[in-house]
């Protein structure tokens, strides 16, 4: 297989037209070879091909488009629903996790490639406290720390993509809920996935799994630094 190819996995039980069209668009715009593969065990085969691939694309609901492929893949995986709509904007979730810069850079690059604006989303939560016998939320903060985190994350990337319009959203709530809602109107949602046992990584892993299960729009899962899981 050519190094740096866009690989699309086709399940013969489903049409796979949307996934193939999405992969073809990226391959054409980036002038990369397109490799189409049909396999009885996509997670294992595509996981192996990902070591030389630039990108792996599969259809939502296909064998191998679940967390097994995400865990195995050495490159970003894009899962495309069969009934993909005409959403607008590339949405990327950031959480201040080490290694997440690559996720945001992938989102910038893809937004530029597709001619879409980039919506950067940071979710935060404020702990409730007891007041008498009732739980109450604290006063709304100025979100200075959250704004600083986003600004620092974007500082080194924005100059390289002057053509990409960037919007920032600070949203209170769980990432899987916030990003899941935004996915209904998005062209693509981008999240990161780390293969460690840290609690923060497990939370982000659950975000990726939740978005893949919903299938509202194409979802890109970008691997962060860490050893890939090669087990069954």
Q: Which of these, 88, 122, 120, 125, lies nearest to 107 by C-alpha position?
A: 120
Domain boundary among the residues 47, 82, 117 is at 82
Domain boundary among the residues 41, 63, 82 is at 82
Contacts with 22 (C-beta within 8 Å, 6 or more apart), sequence order: 57, 78, 80, 84, 218
Taking the C-alpha atoms of residue 141 and residue 127, their distance in angstroms, rounded to an integer, is 12
Mean predicted lDDT score pLDDT of the chain: 82
Q: What is the pLDDT of residues 37-74, one digit of tens each?
A: 987 777 788 889 999 999 999 987 654 445 678 778 88
109 and 44 in a common domain: no
The answer to whether residue 232 is domain-embedded is: no
Domain count along the chain: 2
174 and 90 in a common domain: yes
The answer to whether residue 94 is domain-embedded is: yes
Q: What pLDDT is stored for residue 27 in this prediction?
A: 97
Region of poorest pLDDT, from 7-11, 30-34, 200-204? 200-204
- Burial of residue 6, with CB atoms counted within 10 A of its CB: 0-12 exposed, 13-18 middle, 19 or more buried: buried
148 and 95 in a common domain: yes
204 and 112 in a common domain: yes
Taking the C-alpha atoms of residue 97 and residue 204, their distance in angstroms, rounded to an integer, is 9
Contacts with 192 (C-beta within 8 Å, 6 or more apart), sequence order: 97, 99, 100, 102, 103, 204, 208, 221, 222, 223, 224
Extended beta strands in the chain, E state:
5-10, 34-38, 53-59, 77-80, 90-94, 118-124, 129-131, 134-136, 166-172, 188-193, 219-223
CA dihedral 92, 61, 76, 221 (to 10 degrees): 30
Region of poorest pLDDT, from 28-32, 116-120, 206-210? 206-210
More confident residue, 141 or 175: 175
90 and 145 in a common domain: yes
pLDDT band at 13, cuts 50/70/90?
Answer: low
**What pTM did the predictor assign?**
0.84
Region of poorest pLDDT, from 73-82, 126-135, 158-167? 126-135
More confident residue, 137 or 31: 31
Q: Which of these, 10, 2, 90, lies nearest to 51 by C-alpha position?
A: 2
136 and 161 in a common domain: yes
The answer to whether residue 14 is domain-embedded is: yes
121 and 30 in a common domain: no
The answer to whether residue 222 is domain-embedded is: yes
CATH number at residue 169: 3.40.50.620
Domain boundary among the residues 47, 67, 82 is at 82
Taking the C-alpha atoms of residue 177 and residue 232, their distance in angstroms, rounded to an integer, is 29
DSSP helix/strand/coil, 27: helix
47 and 7 in a common domain: yes
C-beta separation of 27 from 33 below 8 A: yes
Q: What pLDDT is stored for residue 132 in this prediction?
A: 54
Domain hosting 78: range is 1-82
Residue 100 vs residues 103, 185, 197: alpha-carbon distances, Å: 5, 24, 16
The answer to whether residue 72 is domain-embedded is: yes
90 and 21 in a common domain: no
159 and 203 in a common domain: yes
Q: What is the pLDDT of residues 184-214, one digit of tens each?
A: 999 999 998 765 544 434 444 678 888 888 8
């Amino acid at each position: 297989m050519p190094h740096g190819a866009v690989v699309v996995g086709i399940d013969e039980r489903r049409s796979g037209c949307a996934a193939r069209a999405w992969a073809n668009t990226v391959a054409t715009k980036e002038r990369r070879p397109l490799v189409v593969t049909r396999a009885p065990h996509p997670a294992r085969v595509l996981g192996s091909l990902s070591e030389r691939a630039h990108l792996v694309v599969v259809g939502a609901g296909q064998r191998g488009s679940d967390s097994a492929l995400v865990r195995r893949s050495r490159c970003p995986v894009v899962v495309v629903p069969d009934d993909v709509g005409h959403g607008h904007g590339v949405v990327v979730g950031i959480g201040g996790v080490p290694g997440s810069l690559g996720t945001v850079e992938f989102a910038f690059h893809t937004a530029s490639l597709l001619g879409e604006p980039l919506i950067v989303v940071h979710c935060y939560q404020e702990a409730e406290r007891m007041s008498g016998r009732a739980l109450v939320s604290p006063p709304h903060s100025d979100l200075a720390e959250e704004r600083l985190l986003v600004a620092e994350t974007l500082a080194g990337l924005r100059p390289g993509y002057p053509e990409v319009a960037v919007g920032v959203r600070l949203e209170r709530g769980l990432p899987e809920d916030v990003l899941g809602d935004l996915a209904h109107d998005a062209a693509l949602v981008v999240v990161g996935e780390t293969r460690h046992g840290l609690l923060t990584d497990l939370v982000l892993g659950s975000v990726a799994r939740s978005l893949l299960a919903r299938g509202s729009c194409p979802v890109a899962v970008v691997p962060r630094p860490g050893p890939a899981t090669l087990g069954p």
